[in-house]
Structure 1
């Protein structure tokens, strides 16, 4: 009894969401962290197909995935972690890391899903990508500006060189004129 109470306390206080489903895809349990992530109360999802928490097209394909796994035993997500999208009660979609484990208990098969919200991480990645793109644009603008400055300096150098040549010619003419005078 004490071990069961401890296990329930751990699940109820876990930082990440924990959802269990039966082999028909029906939600058996959902912890408070998962309820907060998906914005549902437990009674709103327990007894419903897990696809209620998925956006399209995964929602429509989930039962087929389950049937293929039961028929072939080839896992595409079970035993692996992967980034997926979830659908909240309000219809908004958010990214999370999903790990699914198969559990056999009293000759029944269940699946435990461990949900880690990636919203903040994805937002940070997007901000970093936008900042990187901004920096790349600045580099392009500065490169264009630098090339224009180099062109202007080259043109100015050519003008100075040309003026210097004319000055030298003028100096030679003055020297000849003075020599002749």
Structure 2
């Protein structure tokens, strides 16, 4: 039998140089800026390399300062971009997924459902101009429109949902 080497499939090497960020808040701000601006190195390992810190340090500091993991934050930003593009009329979910850095359309759908509580198709319908007007009317006149179809993610589902 051959020898086997143990290696992590998702391993990445960090920087051995001293960090240029004097304060942890500066490191987190730089990471947030790269994510918000859609930098191609928005994943943990590439972002750590860009910021010249170890992935472990970036992950720990980001989570501690922001209260959410770097991945969760990045996904929130990407779902926000997706919603804006859907509101602007984008209908190509596969292209949208690729543009926003998701592995595929299914990944986009899972992430949208996790963060927004709805699939991209449902969000597109809710964000369409006519649906937006109807939604605004239901908020202004709660008795006229009934339930608006949205649920609070923390709210338990009623029987039959």
Q: TM-score, normalised by structure 2?
A: 0.27
Q: Larger C-alpha radius of gyration, 1 or 2?
A: 1
Tell me which protein shows more strand as a share of its residues: 1
- RCO (CA 8 Å, sep 6+): is it higher in 1 or 2? 1
